[in-house]
Amino acid sequence: MVGFRKIRSAFTSSKTIRGNVVIVTGSSSGIGSFIALEYARYGARLVLVARRENKLREVAEACLEAGAMDAAVCPADLTKECDCRRIVEFTVSRFGRVNVLVNNAGMAESGLFEDYETTGSFRQTMDVDFLGAVLTTKHALEHLARAKGQLVVVASVAAYCPYPRQAPYNAAKAALVQFFDTLRTEPIGRLIDITIVMPGFVASEMTAHAEGHIPWWWPMIPSGDAAKAVVDASISRKRHAIVPSWYSSWLPYRAFAPELMEWLPRATLVGKPPSIMVNRALNAILGEELTSKLFRAIAALNF
């Protein structure tokens, strides 16, 4: 019975997606390229968006081999509104409609906020991770409404978990969640579906450069698994999806014991005492120098 349901679900999903026009931003590598491949297996018509045209063409070829009805390449820089508009114009010119817009493009830098000497990277992170999605959505909105289409937003569990050394990234992802949740309350929310997916740490090109930022023991989600979860949530028209689901266990702490979500990262990842009271107590027992060494050693064990 379970096997039959899976086969029926796969058949229904293929029938639902086949021929649909799907824009995937940030699809030249990482989770974005795998999202494109997942839609390709269902026979979608794809528009692949990122800055690196050569990488996009490689992904497009793989998508066609995987079963996409078409795979067009649209190199673009989402920090420029003219490019966000051009993505939609290109799609409509080629296919006549937009059924699904997957806002996946993102970037991140690692570092303590207090250590940054310049602020340019903050703006770039917000421009790519937040405003790029907002502006592309704005230009696609009338086409999505006409097609009774769907917005798929790849956010992050960082939207509600204050993980250190990525404050601008966390802020951008939180802004995404709040923005698209707010759209549901507006008239457009009755015309299109909105699915927000919040993955944990995904093994990708972006996280590969995060040495000294992600603990060695932290479970990483393969890009392919994360992408499948995104597309499955899209097919099911879920409002929200947290991937993997065990990250959901943090939500009660966020609501009822937010201090724990600050203390643990501060002590184990930043290498500082979790609170002023703990710091004072340990300073009285061990002395300031030994207390400082203790927490630095704790943090060093994780990387």
For the segment 110-168, what is each residue's pLDDT rounded down to a tens digit? 888 998 888 888 899 999 999 999 999 999 999 999 999 999 999 999 999 988 999 99
pLDDT at residue 11 in the model: 42
How far from 53 is each of 28, 57, 76, 131, 288, CA to CA, in Å?
8, 6, 9, 22, 54
Helix axes 30-41, 223-235, angle to 10 degrees: 50
pLDDT at residue 6 in the model: 44
pLDDT at residue 111 in the model: 87
Torsion sign over Cα 248, 252, 254, 260: negative
Query: 285 exposed, middle or buried (CB, 10 Å; 0-12, 13-18, 19+)?
Result: exposed
How far from 151 is each of 94, 122, 154, 244, CA to CA, in Å?
20, 25, 10, 21
Three-state secondary structure call for residue 24: strand
pLDDT at residue 121 in the model: 85
Task: Enumerate the CATH 3.40.50.720 domain ranges in the chain, comma separated.
Answer: 21-254
Instruction: Evaluate whether 29 touches 204 at the Cβ level (below 8 Å).
Output: yes
Instruction: Evaluate whether 208 touches 166 at the Cβ level (below 8 Å).
Output: no
Whole-number Å distance between alpha carbons of 82 and 76? 9
Instruction: Evaluate whether 91 touches 98 at the Cβ level (below 8 Å).
Output: yes
Name the CATH topology of 21-254: Rossmann fold (3.40.50)
**Residues recognised as catalytic:** 169
- Go through 152-169 and write b for each residue having 16 or more CB atoms within 10 A of its CB, e for each that does not: bbbbbbbbbbbbbbbbbb
The structure's pTM equals 0.91
pLDDT at residue 120 in the model: 84
pLDDT at residue 1 in the model: 46
Which residues are bridge partners to 74 per DSSP? 49
Query: 106 exposed, middle or buried (CB, 10 Å; 0-12, 13-18, 19+)?
Result: buried
pLDDT at residue 210 in the model: 59
Token pair, residue 283, equals 């300073």
Which residues are bridge partners to 186 per DSSP? none
pLDDT tens sequence for the chain (303 residues): 444 444 444 444 555 899 999 999 999 999 999 999 999 999 999 999 999 999 999 999 999 999 999 999 999 999 999 999 999 999 999 999 999 999 999 998 888 899 888 888 889 999 999 999 999 999 999 999 999 999 999 999 999 998 899 999 999 999 999 999 999 999 999 999 999 999 999 988 776 665 567 888 888 999 999 999 999 999 999 999 999 999 999 899 888 999 989 998 999 889 999 999 999 999 999 999 999 999 899 989 887
